[in-house]
Every structure is written in C-alpha cells, then in structure tokens.
C-alpha cells in the first residue's frame, strides 16, 4: 500500500470514528508522535512506517520545489509542505 493510500484510508476511517480521530490527534502529546501515529495507522489496517512517511513528504516537497520557476534558488519557500503528519492532523 502506498503512503497516500494509507493516509487517505486512515483519514476516511478517522472521520467516521470519533475515538480513532481523537487517538490520532492525541499523538501530538506523545514523546514520539510520528512513531505512535504510524503504529496506530498500522493497527487500523493502513501500514505506515516512519521513514516512508518522512520520505513521502520530502519527495513531494522536492517535486513541488522543482516545478516552481525551474526549481532554482529563486523558488519560493514552501512552509510545512513536507510534513504529512502535521498536514494529516490539520485535515482531521
């Protein structure tokens, strides 16, 4: 399962299950929030691993940056576009 598939499936499930939604939002309070988030995702049937999530964000960010004005040094800064964990939580 691709990262975006796992995130989309988890988001859909969390939107209809308030307990799961709250459990995911509460990961922000953990010592290792991304690890806990990925563990919950995997337990819910959406296998997700920390490095896959991080790499997915960095790859997506790099693609956006390359597509902006040729990806040169004058490309605008994109804030937070590489953090899919934070983007996921804000979408809940």
In angstroms, the CA 54 to CA 79 distance is 15
pLDDT in tens, 27-75: 999 999 999 999 999 999 999 998 888 887 665 655 655 565 555 555 5
Neighbours of 26 (CB within 10 A): 13
pLDDT class for 21, splitting at 50, 70, 90?
very high
Decide which of 59 and 2 is more confident. 2
In angstroms, the CA 70 to CA 84 distance is 24
Nearest to 6 by CA among 35, 43, 61: 43
Model confidence at 82: pLDDT above 60: no
Give the pLDDT confidence score for residue 59 in this predicted structure: 59
Q: Averaged over 71-87, what is the pLDDT? A: 59
Q: Is the pTM of this model over 0.75?
A: no
Phi, psi of 75 (to 5 degrees): -65, 140
pLDDT class for 84, splitting at 50, 70, 90?
confident
Got the DSSP string for 52-71? HHHHHHHHHHHHHHHHSGGG
């Amino acid at each position: 399962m691709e990262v975006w598939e796992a995130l989309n499936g988890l988001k859909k499930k969390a939107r209809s299950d308030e307990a799961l939604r709250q459990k995911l939002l509460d990961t922000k309070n953990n010592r290792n929030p991304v690890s806990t988030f990925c563990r919950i995702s995997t337990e819910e049937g959406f296998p997700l691993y920390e490095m896959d999530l991080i790499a997915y964000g960095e790859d997506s960010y790099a693609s956006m940056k390359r597509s902006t004005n040729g990806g040169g040094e004058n490309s605008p800064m994109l804030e937070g576009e590489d953090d899919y964990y934070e983007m996921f939580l804000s979408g809940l």
